[in-house]
Chains A and B, each alone.
Chain A
Amino acid sequence: DAGVIQSPRHEVTEMGQEVTLRCKPISGHNSLFWYRQTMMRGLELLIYFNNNVPIDDSGMPEDRFSAKMPNASFSTLKIQPSEPRDSAVYFCASSNIQTDGGEQFFGPGTRLTVL
């Protein structure tokens, strides 16, 4: 079975541009998480969904960040406009707490560089 799929793997953009990160969770998982990882702040939860519904977006830095999950097999994280301080590795993870005991399965991440 395919794991969590993220695209693109790398993104280099200029300040002010819109960035869209994509995630396909593992089939059958009902929770999806977006994280950001930096050396300074570690792994931070941005937002998570249960059954496609946003449950907790308290980690979203500001209004420039938005996330959607239109169906059980796809989610996007959008940054508009992007800023250099948004440079980080963004991970998507999925889980099914009923069947996997809460294990989160992570994608390979998207490395974002904003110039």
Chain B
Amino acid sequence: TQLLEQSPQFLSIQEGENLTVYCNSSSVFSSLQWYRQEPGEGPVLLVTVVTGGEVKKLKRLTFQFGDARKDSSLHITAAQPGDTGLYLCAGRYTGTASKLTFGTGTRLQVTL
């Protein structure tokens, strides 16, 4: 069974702080995605990373894929209340085509 562990599970910070969320697996990903989910809605894709060592930026969010393609991180700079939500990493393993395995999730709350 392939497991995707995320840390931390919960994070409560004040507006303006920086934070990093981690996603780790014992197996190699062919690609990895990050989703954000808001209450009462389904997850929405933020980014896809494919190449080991790849870094992608989406405004204040920076996503990094580990060199060995077994881990990833999401860094948020100067968090805002609008960043509040559940962040999920999702990995696609070699040979699984359409199937995604979702991580355990990080619930972020940003307060004023």
- Chain A positions within 8 Å of B, measured between CB atoms, are 4, 31, 33, 35, 42-45, 48, 50, 55-56, 91, 93, 95, 97, 101-104, 106-109
Contacts and interface: CB of A to CB of B under 8 A. Distances in A.
B102 A43 contact: yes
B21 interface: no
B102 A42 contact: yes
A43 B99 contact: no
Nearest to B44: A106
B42 A31 contact: no
Nearest to A96: B98
Contacts of A50: 97-98
Given A102-B33, A102-B48, A103-B48, A108 B41 contact: yes
B42 A95 contact: no
Sorted nearest first, the 5 A-B pairs with minimum C-beta distance are: A106-B42, A43-B102, A31-B98, A103-B45, A42-B104
Interface string B77-112: 000000000001010100001111111110000000
Interface string B57-88: 00000000000000000000000000000001
Interface of B: 31, 33, 40-45, 48, 88, 90, 92, 97-105
Contacts of A91: 42-43
A55 B102 CA distance: 18
Nearest to B30: A102
A54 to B, nearest CB: 12
A45 B97 contact: no
Contacts of B31: 102
10 contacts: A35-B102, A42-B104, A45-B99, A93-B42, A97-B98, A102-B92, A102-B100, A103-B48, A106-B42, A108-B41
Given A91-B42, A108-B41, A101 B48 contact: yes
B83 to A, nearest CB: 19
A48 B48 contact: no
Contact of A97 (B41, B42, B97, B101): B97
A14 B45 CA distance: 35
A95 B43 CA distance: 13
A53 to B, nearest CB: 12
